Structure 1
Amino acid sequence: MDLSLDSSSYDAELLKALADYENQETLTGNGRKRKWGDVITPSTSAAATNNDPSQAALQATPLEEDTPPGNKIKCDACQVHIGKRYFSRHLNSKLHREKVLRNHETLENVKIIESAFGQRVKSYRIQLDSSNLNSSVSTDCVITPEVYFEKIKNKIFKLLMDNIDCHSFIKVNFVLHAEFIQITKDLVNSFDFQGYNYSFCKGDDIELDFEQVVVEFSNKLGEFEKKDSGWSLKKILYVDMNVNKFNPLRGSSYIDLPIDIKHKKAVLNIKNSDYECFSWAVLAGLYPVNKNAERVAAYLPNKNKLNFGDINFPVKLRDVKKFENLNNMSINVFGLEYNNETKKNEIIGPLHFTKHRMPTHLNLLYLTNGSNGHYCLIKNMSRLLSKQITTSNEAIHICDGCLLHFSNKEHLNLHQKNDCVNIRTELPSARNTKPNWFGEHTSSDKLKFDKYDRQMRVPFVVYADFEAFVTPIPSCDNDPEKSHTNNIQKHNVYSFGYYLKCAYDDKLSKYQTYMGEDCPNVFLKYLKKDLELITKKILLLNHLCH
């Protein structure tokens, strides 16, 4: 039947054709199309904009079929069908996690989220017990991230240690869920803050990384509140801890040197097929060989001469200090970075700088390629860095203790003997405390003005000035083989003037001047006389007041 555009039957046929097309439910590159007749509620659209696309997709998906279509996966916990594209997001969504929580066997207020996917080992939800708070803290008081993490610290340490014992290497990240309020608009909403990934293995100092976690979330929440959104922290709901499998190195840790670094012939790169590149690089520096220096076999006879204690392979940068103490030696570790402007690789760092240079000292180069890391031995620092530091073709000599460079070996030796060993840089630390002006012990890594006594005016100040003329001094020739100083002029004082200023009574202020012989002694005589007079007046005034 031929329908005209003006016919009402045409509209009915067009609507029917559109409905048939929309009912086919296909997935496109931009997301899932909804069926004709789906109702999008305000909560659905809000979920789609709340960093949780899986919830929006889930609410818009009809769940009538028991068997999922080919392009969908069924979630047994939620009893819904999710498109393959959104399934991984769904497993990490709040909707799914709430349905797979179970209590931890030994730790209170800790729940296990049985939603492991991919490389995920376990996920935990850690909440703060209200009885954990001090009775002096009001229930209306906002708990800061620092206080919250301090209260749940022991639980986090217990979970980390259990997973490290079980898996040796793990990667952990935290997600903090908090409730915010806009007081002016009377709005309340919850937001989650994703943390960075932290890798752990046996023997690591967990407390050191935990301090970084606390600072990280404290900064994230502070930056969020400082924005123009008007949101203020109301309370912290809970913290999710995700534990993932972590293989720091896959196969060999060997990484080939860039061509420009290789041409300098200043770095020895051991071709290892294991994770012990740090050990081979150190052995190459302690026990050098003339032939096949890049082969592991050349250093096997001395392998057991190094003490690694409880340090695990691959060796992390934080473990280098422990290795130095175990083997009575010092090590500097430098990195490599490509400069887009010069189109060359440049040495950066040091990534690890020894605090005390020992007679046995080595310099290592640390290469990275994704998650893979590799240590090499730096044989000649001058050849490696000369073009990067200076345009001269002359060799430079670098001090391993302070990284200063010199034009010749003699100057370097003189510096290391007299200067470098006597200079020490001590960085502030949160663990070291110092008493402030009030006698309270505060962290030494925070600078705060507390010398309030320096702001108070002193009762008396003396401003003095001398005038002198110079006369030449006859001298004789000195021994050129010995250090000496030539005195060529003498200052002869012929006048002075001083002003004695009182801060609270200008009647006690006085100006005195003199010109003549023996000026220094006359100055002391006049000043002593004035001070004695002032002291008597002050004592008399105090006596009359009392």
Structure 2
Amino acid sequence: MPFCVPCSSSVDKNKWTGHLRSTAHKTTVCSNKLLNDGVEVVESAFRMRIATYRISATNDQSLASVDAFMNSIRNKIKRLLDNSLTKHTCVKVNFELFGLFLMFKDNSQSIKSFGTKNKILYLSYDFESLFCEVVNCLKKKFEEFQDRDSGWAFVSNSHLEININKYQPLRGSSYVDLPKFIKNKKACINIQNNDQCCFLWCVTAALHPSTKHPERVSSYPNFRDVLNISQISFPVTFDDIRIFEKNNPMISLTIFGLKNNKIVVGPLYKSKVSSNQKCRKNINLLLIDDGSHPPHYVLIKDLSRLVRRQVTKHNSKIYFCETCLLFFLTQEELANHLCTGIVTVLPEKGTVIKFKHFDRKQNVPFVIYADFESLLQPTETSDSDTDTSDSLTPNTTTLHHHIPAAFGYHIVCNADPSHNRYFSYRGTDCVDKFIEAIYKDVAKIYKIVNKNTPIICNENDDQNFLNAKRCHICNHFLFSDRVRDHCHITGRYRGAAHNICNLQYKRPCFVPIFFTICLVMIAIYLSKNWGRHLETSKLYLKPKKTIFLLLNLSLSRMSIFSFVL
């Protein structure tokens, strides 16, 4: 069993990795090496080329919201990143925010952490956009964790950890001779440059093609005269290429690579071209990186000739769409195809798509279909001045208001039709009555759904259970772990199943309510009235084609109301 010296305790080998990442271990091994403004070095390796820093929350910062806490340590984060970039030039960084959460069910507390993906930073990075992206990501993860019925409630901020690793990006450099099989195809132009600007010479060669000695630098104008290369470092990386495309908006790039110096792969990089930028000049480049020489960019003058042997056995010329990378046998087929702008990537041989969420195969036990009727009430407008105060846009005039006058809804039970029920009401207070009636009926549904009816089996069901060879849920072979699966509402036997499949085959914990019409004003009016009936309700509005109302059934009460438009 491994022994952790700093913690003076033995750790199970299966939990060793988790122990090293735990907050308790990091606090124990903390080197107490403080940088400026209380930034603490938690871990470091390879002479600080890999390091983890911690910024702890003060008493005032601990009770603040996520964005308020991040804004309070904003300057510390910037100084730390700037110092790391000054030392390493290029780094990979990710952030992990730790917070204290409370479980109301048993009054327990626990530290939870939420992290971001790795981000590559260069000396020319934009801190403002990076900081906003990190804050929004962490804030979203905090809110989603609390809103998904986890039972945990946020109490306070603990600390922020910043992992910074030195990064050596893939760069293009000076002239490198091409592999023989590519050279024989005569599909590429390998410019013999003596500097680290092979990428820029390739772009210049594509914009100003030369028929005489295209491999010579002297055959082309100087790239500084035809291209905007501000804020670009050399040798050029993929992040520099993004900056290059912003500086030169009429150019788009697609970069391919070589696998084992035999197969053209990619694209390693492809420009994001919107519908209004399809007039851009697309340039195909090949990145040579065999490990024995520095990486080198080569201009692809004929993509069809370069990769034809890889995609087809036909000897005739093929035509590539430079946007979606599909190929065609004739120019007419290429011109007539509807390009989606999405690169088609086929799965590897032997790849299988499997369905795993077998619990989603079952029908929802209850569903409600609802509808509102409304009266059109003319707006009070004068002839001289048109009322646009309630209009969605300045160019829209509101002529009538929809006043809800009546409603009706039908409860449908998939398991037992005896629970089906229709209810309607007419009156000026129909919205309030609708909410009250829906809440009472869903409370009754909650009791029905949570009533565990014993299984009802006859001789045929017993015989079916003994003779069953496959699980009726996942359709895999049954062994000694077979159990009887039944409907908990009616007690009806459904079939033989694996024990794990039966446990996961839980009934849905919500009642969907569908409206047959889509009226924005009904959605808004319901949201205004719902808060008076359910103090703990939450409302979400999202663009959909139909109105969808969702009432979650929690274990103790129905507390979450979600209305999707």
Q: Which category of TM-score, normalised to the shorter sequence, fits these structures?
A: 0.3 to 0.5
Q: Which has the larger radius of gyration?
A: 1
State the TM-score, normalizing by the size of structure 2: 0.45
